[in-house]
Amino acid sequence: MNIPFAYGKIVEDADFTDRTEETAHLKGNFMSLTNTAIISPRRWGKSSLVTKAIKAAKAEQKDILFVRMNIFKCETPQEFHSLFAKKTMEEISSSAESLLSNAKEFIARLLPKLTISDPLNQYEIGLGVDVKSNPIDEDILDLPQQIAQKKKKKVVVCIDEFQQIGEFKDTLKFQKTLRTHWQNHPDVAYILYGSKKHMMLHVFGEYNSPFYRFGDMMFLQKIANEDWKKFIVERFENTGKSITPDLAGYLAEQVENHPYYVQQFAQYAWLRTPKTCTQSIVDEALQSMLYSLNLQFVNLMDTLTEKQRSFLCAVSEGVKNFSSSDTLQHYQLGTSGNIRILKDALKKRDLIDVTGKDIQIQDPLLKRWIIQEYIKL
Ligand SMILES: Nc1ncnc2c1ncn2[C@@H]1O[C@H](COP(=O)(O)OP(=O)(O)OP(=O)(O)O)[C@@H](O)[C@H]1O
Ligand SMILES: [Mg+2]
């Protein structure tokens, strides 16, 4: 049985809906080699969008080489350099032979011991050096430009989980190094995105940050309710089941059109639907989804201080004026001076989004769970 909804992975083709404008915009940035930072809260579809735009660009233009990497596991600049070299080499090579010749041509000078393996045609490069005792020269960062020049092509480097560099020990120094190298690459664009919105904003949006004004900042929006309606109705129909547009719209609305949750919720509802989806099936599916998240949310609350938890409750219940004595007293938030500290701490954890005076819980189901379950405890 083919389940028509997907979540928790990069979605492509029929699983990917809308984002026409963003796809065109990003594709335009690839073609014009505009450096780009993509920023959004967690699970709104950054990685999927990049995948989609790369596919679209590849279909139209053959003279762009794409290099993709996810630096989630990198903990030091050395690990970053090593992955950067490895991925750049692998992604510009179409076979083990070309990988070997590219590696000899471009990185043998910097990395003397290279091993190439070809496990089931997934060409892999082994750097063959212990990067701890043989640090890789930072000139490795110029590799994409060297390749672009030599091969007379454009190169687009896409780095996922880019906020990870904020965790490196000398992060500012490393960011300066990256920027210094990358700003001298006329034939390369860097597309940088990551799942921690607060950290990404810090790296790209702060005046003193080396990456300030690095390029285009794309703030991803949610997918509109109208698009979800169409998507959900079609996916039900394609599998011999049905749901009305109104009910599909209602479903997406319950999770505030959050891409990951809409797909998860729609799947829960679809699985419960024998033939025709009903309001009670949707309501049941929502409860079941909340139930499945219960432990995760309980554990999350355990990591917060009592005042932070109370603050989240207040935001969930729609409180606007946090410094009023009624609010401070009702939620036991202490003095009004505390509010900024609480706000900053929860922003840093990506639990809330603050736009001017407006404060929202980032995760729509956490909000619902707080109102429905937590406050009652
Ligand atoms: N365009 C889309 N159409 C349909 N579903 C989508 C779309 N984009 C994202 N989703 C849903 O959201 C989920 C998360 O997408 P993705 O991993 O691309 O987001 P992300 O922003 O990179 O997440 P993270 O912040 O965790 O890195 C997908 O598995 C899918 O369920
Ligand atoms: Mg992602």
Amino acid sitting at position 300: L
What is the reported pLDDT for 125? 64
Tell me whether residue 4 is in a domain.
no
pLDDT-based confidence at residue 95 (cuts at 50, 70, 90): confident
The arithmetic mean of pLDDT across residues 193-220, rounded, is 93
- The protein residue whose alpha carbon is closest to atom 26 in ligand 1 is 43
- The protein residue whose alpha carbon is closest to atom 14 in ligand 1 is 43
Residues 36 and 164 in one domain: yes
Residue with tokens 């672009």: 148
What percent of the chain clears pLDDT 90, i.e. is strictly above it?
A: 79
Tell me whether residue 174 is in a domain.
yes
Task: Indicate whether 118 pLDDT > 70.
Answer: no
Tell me whether residue 189 is in a domain.
yes
Residues 91 and 143 in one domain: yes
Residues 212 and 229 in one domain: no
Which phi and psi (to 5°) does residue 242 adopt?
Answer: -140, 155
What is the reported pLDDT for 124? 67
pLDDT-based confidence at residue 166 (cuts at 50, 70, 90): very high
Residues 71 and 130 in one domain: yes
Residue at a domain's end among 219, 253, 278? 219
Task: Indicate whether 131 pLDDT > 60.
Answer: no
For 188, residues 6+ apart whose C-beta sits below 8 A from its C-beta are: 33, 144, 145, 148, 154, 155, 156, 157, 182
Distance CA 238, CA 334 (A): 55
Residue at a domain's end among 157, 188, 219? 219
Determine the residue of 5, 11, 230 to mutate for testing ligand 1's pocket, defined as the one with the most ligand atoms within 8 A of the Cβ atom: 11
47 CA to middle of ligand 1, Å?
7
pLDDT digits (tens, 9 = 90+) for 34-83: 999 999 999 999 999 999 999 999 999 889 999 999 999 999 998 999 89
Task: Indicate whether 112 pLDDT > 60.
Answer: no
Pocket of ligand 1 (CB under 6 A): 6-11, 15-19, 40, 42-48, 195, 259-260, 263
Query: For the chain, what is the radius of gyration of the CA atoms?
Result: 24
261 CA to middle of ligand 1, Å?
9
Tell me whether residue 7 is in a domain.
no
Q: What is the CATH number of the domain that holds 259?
A: 1.10.8
DSSP character at residue 141: G
Tell me whether residue 101 is in a domain.
yes
Tell me whether residue 11 is in a domain.
no
pLDDT-based confidence at residue 377 (cuts at 50, 70, 90): confident
Residues 192 and 230 in one domain: no
- Lookup: tokens for 128: 């063959």
Q: State pTM to two decimals.
A: 0.91
What is the reported pLDDT for 269? 98
What is the reported pLDDT for 171? 94
DSSP character at residue 164: G
Atom of ligand 1 nearest to the CA of 19: 1
**Domain region containing 27:** 19-219
Residues 24 and 67 in one domain: yes
Residues 32 and 94 in one domain: yes
What is the reported pLDDT for 104? 80
**How many distinct structural domains can be found in the chain?**
3
Q: Which of 247, 254, 267 is nearest to 372 (CA)?
A: 254
Task: Indicate whether 344 pLDDT > 90.
Answer: yes
- Lookup: tokens for 375: 């406050």
124 CA to middle of ligand 1, Å?
27
- The protein residue whose alpha carbon is closest to atom 27 in ligand 1 is 195
pLDDT digits (tens, 9 = 90+) for 230-283: 999 999 999 999 999 999 999 999 999 999 999 999 999 999 999 999 999 999
Tell me whether residue 14 is in a domain.
no
Is 2 or 297 the better-scoring residue by pLDDT? 297
Task: Quote the distance between the C-alpha of residue 268 and its chain's center.
Answer: 24
Distance CA 372, CA 118 (A): 53
Residues 341 and 324 in one domain: yes
Burial class (CB in 10 A: 0-12, 13-18, 19+), 9: exposed
Residues 98 and 206 in one domain: yes
Residue at a domain's end among 260, 282, 299? 299
Residues 293 and 314 in one domain: no
Tell me whether residue 135 is in a domain.
yes
Atom of ligand 1 nearest to the CA of 17: 3
Arithmetic mean of pLDDT over the chain = 91
Q: What is the CATH number of the domain that holds 318?
A: 1.10.10.10
- Lookup: tokens for 268: 């829960």
The arithmetic mean of pLDDT across residues 8-29, rounded, is 95
Least distant ligand from the CA of 53:
1
pLDDT-based confidence at residue 2 (cuts at 50, 70, 90): confident
Poorest-pLDDT segment among 49-58, 150-159, 292-301, 319-328: 319-328
Residues 90 and 149 in one domain: yes
What is the reported pLDDT for 342? 96
What is the reported pLDDT for 133? 58
Distance CA 78, CA 168 (A): 10
For 292, residues 6+ apart whose C-beta sits below 8 A from its C-beta are: none
| 307, 313, 314, 317 alpha-carbon torsion, rounded to 10° | 180
Residues 32 and 148 in one domain: yes
What is the reported pLDDT for 94? 79
